[in-house]
Amino acid sequence: MARRKYKGIDHLSPVDRVVVALMIAVPTVLVLWLVWVPAVGSVLLSFTDWDGIGPISSAKVIGLKNYHDVVSIYPPFWPAVQHNLIWLAVMFLVATPFGIFLAVLLDRELKGTRIYQTAIYLPVVLSLALVGFIWQLIYSRDQGLINQVTGSTIDWYGDQRYNLWAALVASSWRHVGYIMLLYLAGLKGVDPSLREAAKVDGANERTTFFKVVFPVMAPINIIVLVVTVIESLRAFDLVWVINKGRNGLELISTLVTSNIVGEASRIGFGSALATMMLLISSIFIVFYLRIVMREQR
């Protein structure tokens, strides 16, 4: 059978050209309007004292004052940074390895694997806000499952000694399923001949995984690293549902919301916090893009 010769865009009909143009233009406009315009606007507003009440033209340019105030005289900032670092450490050192462990187990095609995969992945399709409400049934002081079983009266979501760790458990419940799915897909794509060669050389399963399989999955490892960092930085929904980021649950993302849409209504100050989050996230995004482009070359 003769192959059909590929025709470039110059050979498309007028209708096809319109369709292609719309397919390119519509997503581009949406990304510019919904992502880049707000991002650039936040950066510009971070250098002003705009309170969101009057017109933007009435905003006064104050340079780096907002950034100086954030790091020097804003009490919740450093506790929020500490909480974000703790969030990142737990996600990266606890939830992610546990997700990898589950992926390795399920990759062995155990009996009932499909059921286990569905049960573990189910929280991923839920929003973090809904996850917070679900775990409230477990953490509630009066009717929660934990207190009912143990006879305790701890307010897991209200007591600042426990609420951060309670939120981390709930977030990890969702994060583990996502990591499991990524690594499970990666394990399915590993060439079986690599494992057979390692087995012939006398390597056990543990050595085979860490010396052969895990290095081969380097692209997925980078994706998981970047996703975990960004998710930890922008953790918001779950914490906001619990207590709006107060009483020991301060995060940078909740401080941004509190200053922009809260009672304070300090748009410029909140934009400075958002810009700092954007810069930190951009470091890992650029790191990821460099690795991807290097592999493509």
pLDDT tens-digit series, residues 152-161: 888 888 888 8
CA atoms of 227 and 214, how far apart (whole Å): 18
Q: What's the confidence (pLDDT) of residue 1?
A: 43
Residue 2 pLDDT more than 50? no
The stretch 85-103 carries a mean pLDDT of 92
Average pLDDT over the chain, rounded to whole? 85
Q: What's the confidence (pLDDT) of residue 31?
A: 92
Q: What's the confidence (pLDDT) of residue 89?
A: 92
pLDDT band per the 50, 70, 90 thresholds, residue 242: confident
- What pTM did the predictor assign? 0.82
Structure-block tokens of residue 291 = 């690795």
Q: What's the confidence (pLDDT) of residue 264?
A: 64
104 neighbors 209 (Cβ within 8 angstroms): yes
Superfamily of domain 65-296: MetI-like (1.10.3720.10)
pLDDT band per the 50, 70, 90 thresholds, residue 186: confident
Tens-digit pLDDT profile for residues 13-22: 888 888 888 9
Q: What's the confidence (pLDDT) of residue 10?
A: 61
The stretch 25-53 carries a mean pLDDT of 90
CA atoms of 100 and 181, how far apart (whole Å): 9
Q: What's the confidence (pLDDT) of residue 109?
A: 74
What residue segments make up the domains of the chain, in order of their start? 65-296
Q: What's the confidence (pLDDT) of residue 125?
A: 87
Tens-digit pLDDT profile for residues 252-277: 989 988 888 866 678 899 999 999 98
